[in-house]
């Protein structure tokens, strides 16, 4: 079932605007995220073709099948639980059957860890951006030659420097393996002998091995630091994939405030921790944020990274005390949730 087919099916029972617009934290450039719940048509539900989720390519629009939705709620998934209390202005459609879903069925002490874990994942993302900003990778990709060295006069010398001093080209060189010495090779070079070169071309990921005539004398031993090359290739790929996919407006904000961390990720860290605190104290999920200005200050980079991490640690410790004293159940009543699922599905199908 495609997104278009779902929208025409009449099986959507809930649809809302979620994310920053629901939190009251949106800016003029914010995306509009749509989340919803649907009941799978009977023929698909009873077949082997169960579909738990339907979304667009960017995941800005996501609909969850009723069973998956209730299961995620029972697992106290923060992104799903918040759909139970989005502001009325953000509700685009609600089937009467969806009123059976009560927040009280799901809120439990499990929220402490589920919200905190999501929050700390955002801290890691924020720090990950700092690493990319502070340690950019040059667009010109290094080659195998940049990781090849020779031992000359007791010092490690880049093979390109070694060859340059002798007016030699890597294409005119040949390598032969040295038994029992990992990534070590004998380096040869003679104009009259056709060799494969140290590498075949700039895109090669390995050194080239040549057939060396018997009796040929090696110039020197070469070491290919293959592990360092592999690590560099991974870092290069990850960095330029990130550059290609990054949100330019969000990146510009990070550069503008100059704190070298993703302030939007950090804002969501505190949103999640503060929501978890409200659940413990009030037994409710406040989606539209009463602390909007504080969260926007975080997003605008008004705090240092280390300062925010310390505050997050203090909040996390506070959550442990609050949830220990809370009257919330340890876990949602899965039997009750399961019964809810059965009743809702039967009623929806009987009214089709």
Q: Which two tokens stand for residue 241?
A: 């994939």
- Pairing of the two strands 173-177 and 148-152: unpaired
Which parts of the chain fold into alpha helices (H)? 3-9, 20-23, 42-45, 66-74, 78-81, 110-134, 159-165, 226-245, 248-257, 263-282, 292-299, 305-325, 334-350
Task: From 25, 28, 130, 27, select the one nearest 87 (Cα to Cα).
Answer: 25
Q: How far is Cα 117 from Cα 123, in angstroms, rounded to an integer? A: 10
Could you identify the residue written with the tokens 């220990």?
A: 324
Please tell me the predicted confidence (pLDDT) of residue 246: 61
Please tell me the predicted confidence (pLDDT) of residue 129: 47
Please tell me the predicted confidence (pLDDT) of residue 259: 56
68 torsion bin: left (phi>0), alpha (psi -120 to 50), beta (else): alpha
Q: How far is Cα 38 from Cα 28, in angstroms, rounded to an integer? A: 30
Could you identify the residue written with the tokens 């009977």?
A: 42
Q: Where are the domains of the chain?
A: 1-102+332-352, 144-226
Task: From 112, 106, 64, 114, select the one nearest 85 (Cα to Cα).
Answer: 106
- What's the burial of 127, exposed, middle or buried (CB within 10 Å: 0-12/13-18/19+)? middle
CB 157 within 8 A of CB 164: no
10-residue averages of pLDDT along the chain (352 residues)? 92 96 88 95 90 92 97 96 96 97 95 88 60 68 96 93 94 94 93 85 93 90 96 89 64 50 84 95 94 92 86 90 94 95 96 82
State the virtual CA torsion across 104, 333, 98, 76 in degrees, nearest 10.
Answer: 70
Please tell me the predicted confidence (pLDDT) of residue 255: 43
Q: How far is Cα 252 from Cα 324, in angstroms, rounded to an integer? A: 42
Instruction: Give residue 209's Cα distance to chain centre.
Output: 40
Which residues 6+ apart lie within 8 Å of 329 measured at CB? 108, 109
Q: How far is Cα 338 from Cα 25, in angstroms, rounded to an integer? A: 35
* Domain 1-102+332-352 falls under CATH 2.30.320: no
What's phi and psi for 26, nearest 5 deg?
-75, 160
CB 129 within 8 A of CB 262: yes
Q: Which two tokens stand for residue 123?
A: 């801290």
Could you identify the residue written with the tokens 């995620």?
A: 72
CB 115 within 8 A of CB 264: no
Q: What is the DSSP string of 210-269?
A: -PPPTTPPP-EEEEE-HHHHHHHHHHHHHHHHHHHHS-HHHHHHHHHHT-SS-HHHHHHH
Please tell me the predicted confidence (pLDDT) of residue 214: 87
Please tell me the predicted confidence (pLDDT) of residue 33: 94
């Amino acid at each position: 079932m495609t997104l278009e087919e779902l929208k025409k099916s009449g099986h959507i029972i809930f649809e809302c605007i979620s994310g920053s617009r629901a939190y009251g934290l949106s800016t003029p450039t914010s995306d509009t995220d749509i989340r919803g719940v649907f009941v799978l048509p009977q023929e698909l539900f009873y077949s082997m073709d169960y579909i738990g989720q339907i979304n667009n390519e960017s995941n800005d629009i996501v609909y969850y099948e009723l069973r998956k939705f209730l299961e995620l709620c029972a697992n106290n998934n923060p992104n799903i639980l918040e759909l139970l209390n989005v502001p009325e202005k953000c509700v685009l459609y609600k089937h009467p059957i969806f009123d059976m879903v009560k927040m009280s069925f799901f809120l439990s002490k499990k929220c402490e860890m589920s919200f905190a874990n999501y929050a700390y994942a955002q801290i890691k993302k924020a720090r990950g951006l700092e690493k990319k900003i502070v340690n950019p990778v040059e667009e010109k990709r290094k080659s195998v030659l940049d990781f090849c060295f020779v031992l000359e006069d007791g010092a490690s010398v880049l093979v390109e420097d070694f060859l340059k001093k002798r007016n030699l080209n890597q294409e005119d060189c040949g390598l032969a393996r040295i038994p029992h010495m990992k990534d070590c090779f004998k380096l040869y070079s003679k104009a009259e002998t056709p060799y494969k070169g140290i590498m075949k071309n700039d895109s090669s990921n390995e050194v080239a091995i040549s057939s060396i005539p018997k009796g040929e004398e090696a110039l020197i031993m070469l070491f290919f630091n293959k592990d360092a090359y592999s690590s560099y290739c991974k870092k290069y790929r990850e960095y330029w994939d990130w550059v290609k996919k990054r949100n330019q407006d969000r990146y510009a904000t990070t550069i503008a405030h100059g704190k070298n961390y993703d302030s939007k990720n950090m804002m969501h860290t505190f949103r999640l921790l503060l929501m978890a605190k409200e659940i413990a104290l009030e037994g409710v999920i406040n989606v539209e944020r009463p602390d909007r200005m504080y969260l926007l200050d975080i997003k605008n980079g008004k705090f240092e990274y280390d300062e925010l991490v310390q505050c997050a640690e203090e909040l996390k410790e506070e959550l442990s005390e609050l949830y220990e004293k809370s009257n919330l159940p340890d876990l949602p009543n899965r039997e009750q949730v399961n019964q809810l699922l059965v009743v809702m599905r039967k009623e929806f199908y009987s009214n089709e």
